[in-house]
Amino acid sequence: MENPQFLKKKYNNLHTSPEVASAANRTEKQTGEKIPQSPEKQIQNYLDRFSEILDREDPEKRQQGIEALKKVLHKELVIKKENIPLDYFLDQEQNIAERLGHGRPEATDGWKERKTNEILQGQQRSLDIWIDYLSSSDAMYPDWAKYWAFRSMTQMGGYDKEKGKFGKRTETSSQPFPTLNIACMAKTIDLVQRHLEITGLTKDSTERQKKEKELSYALNHDSQYKDLLSTENFSKLYTHALEQFSGMSWESLENIAGQWKTYEQGSEPDELYDSLQGYPLEWCTATNIETARDQLEGGDFHVYYSQNKDGISTIPRLAIRMEYDSIAEIRGIEKDQNIDSFINPVLDEKLHEFGGEGESYLKKSQDMKQMTAITEKHIAGQELNKEDLRFLYELDGEIEGFGYEEDPRINEIKNQRDKLMDLSAIFDCKYYEGNLNLDTLSSAEGLVLPEHIGGYLDLSDLSSAEGLVLPEHIGGYLDLSDLSLAKGLVLPNHIEGNLYLNGLTSVEGLVLPNHIGGGLHIRRLSSAEGLVLPNHIGGYLDLRRLSSVEGLVLPNHIEGNLYLNGLSLAEGLVLPNHIGGDLDLSYLSLAKGLVLPEHIGGDLNLDTLSSAEGLVLPEHIGGDLYLTMLSSVEGLVLPKHIGGTLDLSYLSSVEGLVLPNHIEGNLYLNGLSLAKGLVLPKHIEGSLNLNGLSLAEGLVLPEHIGGSLYLSDLSSVEKEKLRQRYPEHSGKIS
């Protein structure tokens, strides 16, 4: 069958198409000869016009012709900007982000511009690959075959791995043009040529029988190939060849031998991009070199290549993209870039190299898949089973995603469900060892809880204790932050973690547990009347809004911090003998009646104390001592040891000031204008702030200053004198 006959048969109206008519007009103007009206002659003339460009002897003119052809084809075949379905891509990227636990990002003008350019560049580049090859001297195919292959390719959309075929390209198709695999195209054209030769021979002729045998051998007895040949459909034949050649048929995928290759961060993308060409992949790395460049700028890119039929590792099977030294994504060759069922052992072995990072990625990936499955069930109105509910309410562990914040789908779904019914379906036992997060439950009516909870219980949104029956024992914290009244509240005997009662404004009816292993938060309480605290609190006690100590009986021992920063007067205050953490009395204006503990393990904050009269400080303070507003040292006896910073920023005179010999942190004396009479510690491990000094006269520096020496009000001349006197401190003076 001659060239034009095949094309006329494939494309009935080709000979009457505008492009063929235009080619005939150009030929007639150049030669003065009219092209015969027969379809075959018209089509052949059209093909000859392309040959004229490709057969030009002058390489420069030939290239100019090809570039002009590219511009025409770009204009005709590449998607128009207005046809790009940006809403589809936004929805797709939002779905991907949602599946990873990032929420649904909004489309910005910058995103729209980047996505549009990415699509246009991807189509132009993929189209140019076909044009460059078919116009080269290497493409030694008949003109009709080139036209048939190219025209067919331009009508092919995205590759569907599940269906094993390319979709039909439309004016809104945004995928790049099909990948060019030269060997697969050559085989497709060769087989069709053989097929056409056979159909042109007499059925019973010896020549036909001979050629049929040769064709059968070329097909390797592949019956599917034989059936496809009769369709003369380039897309189907090329796809079949592609799957066979690329080793991505199911039979070939069983061979998982191969090797990993790492493309380092910041490297040029060409090698990575080129290694993925010719394979029916959904990876954006394979379809757009600029995407590959962006990805390599973000981190290393690992690809696993399995062996082809010749034992060479060339078939891309897995991709691990890194971002900021962390695994950003893992992609396979199945539909939606999932991992194929054979390659998992290779991936598992590789992830061990990443240590905890690999295990963490797998946990997050599995959690996001399960969250997506639950979301799809929820949207479809399907019932969630007990396993789904335990996962949704995070009873067996926190749901981990790839976002910086919690996956927003969790609360979106829980807020639309009957939580009490869910919990009733979950709990069929008296003992539950995990955490129970019910932080969106506003009412306890109908709520049945286990008698024992091994982890925490979060009821932070509960506004009333009515109907609430709490477990006898809670192994973690109990959060009832939103309760304003204790009426009807019966707390467990044992709470091993913190107890949050931040919203309580009255303690009427409140009976606290005998044992609180963590901290106790009642930070909105202004009066201690009726408050009976446990004898022992293992964490901190937060009573920061308390304005009066009347009726307040504190425990003898508090392991954590004690916040009483709402008190302005200390009269009547009896503090514990031992405070393991900080003591915050930052609103206290007078020390009268203040008896401090013998031991304070953390900071002592007396920030607003204006006078040291009546102040007796402990001999040992483990952390910082803040006496920021103290203007006079009269009556001040400092501890022998301060484990952190000493802040005397407002002190204007040092008369009578005796500082410790050793200060572990910083020393702030930036209110002093003169150094006369100042005896500094021998050792200051942190910085020394004397910014208010105007003269260095009488200043004797410590033997050791671990940090900087701040003297901003001192003249440069005075600073230079100090540098000469104390060369060991010269680099610290600023």
Q: Give pLDDT tens digits for 460-482.
A: 998 888 888 898 889 999 999 99
The phi, psi pair for 294, rounded to 5°, reads -60, -40
Average pLDDT over residues 208-236: 82
Strands 457-458, 499-500: pairing is: unpaired
Band the pLDDT of 1: cuts 50, 70, 90: very low
Which of 450, 447, 435 is closest to 395 using CA atoms? 435
108 alpha-carbon distance from chain centroid: 19
Among 186-200, 390-404, 678-692, the range of highest mean pLDDT: 678-692
| Burial (CB count within 10 angstroms: exposed 0-12, middle 13-18, buried 19+), residue 48 | middle
Average pLDDT over residues 662-685: 91
How many other β-carbons are positioned within 10 Å of the β-carbon of residue 294?
Answer: 15
Say if residue 338's pLDDT is above 80.
no
pLDDT at 403: 59
Whole-number Å distance between alpha carbons of 385 and 460: 26
Whole-number Å distance between alpha carbons of 237 and 147: 16
**What's the mean per-residue pLDDT of the chain?**
84
Comparing 15-24, 335-344, 659-668, 676-685, the range with the smallest average pLDDT is 335-344
The residue ranking higher by pLDDT, 314 or 514, is 314
pLDDT at 88: 64
| Burial (CB count within 10 angstroms: exposed 0-12, middle 13-18, buried 19+), residue 345 | exposed
Band the pLDDT of 408: cuts 50, 70, 90: confident
pLDDT at 613: 87
Contact assessment for residue 23 and residue 35, using Cβ atoms and an 8 Å cutoff: no
Among 16-30, 52-66, 81-95, 669-683, the range of highest mean pLDDT: 669-683
What is the three-class DSSP state of 261?
strand
Hey, what are 697's tokens? 């006269």
Average pLDDT over residues 184-213: 85
What pTM was estimated for this model as a whole? 0.49
User: Percent of the chain scored above 90 by pLDDT?
Assistant: 22
Q: First and final CA of the chain: distance in angstroms? A: 93
User: Percent of the chain scored above 70 by pLDDT?
Assistant: 94
Contact assessment for residue 529 and residue 549, using Cβ atoms and an 8 Å cutoff: no
pLDDT at 710: 92
Contact assessment for residue 590 and residue 608, using Cβ atoms and an 8 Å cutoff: no
Q: Which pLDDT tens digit goes with each residue over 345-383?
A: 888 888 888 887 777 777 877 887 888 889 889 888 898
Q: Which amino acid does the sequence have at 383?
A: E
The phi, psi pair for 284, rounded to 5°, reads -65, -25
Say if residue 493's pLDDT is above 50.
yes
pLDDT at 519: 92
* Angle separating helix axes 356-379 and 344-353, nearest 10 degrees: 130
pLDDT at 438: 83
Q: Which pLDDT tens digit goes with each residue over 121-162?
A: 888 988 988 888 888 888 888 888 888 888 888 899 888 766
Domain-wise residue ranges, the chain: 3-180, 181-232, 250-354
| Burial (CB count within 10 angstroms: exposed 0-12, middle 13-18, buried 19+), residue 602 | buried
Contact partners, residue 666, CB within 8 Å, separation at least 6: 645, 646, 647, 684, 686, 687, 688, 689, 707
The phi, psi pair for 58, rounded to 5°, reads -75, 110
pLDDT at 112: 81
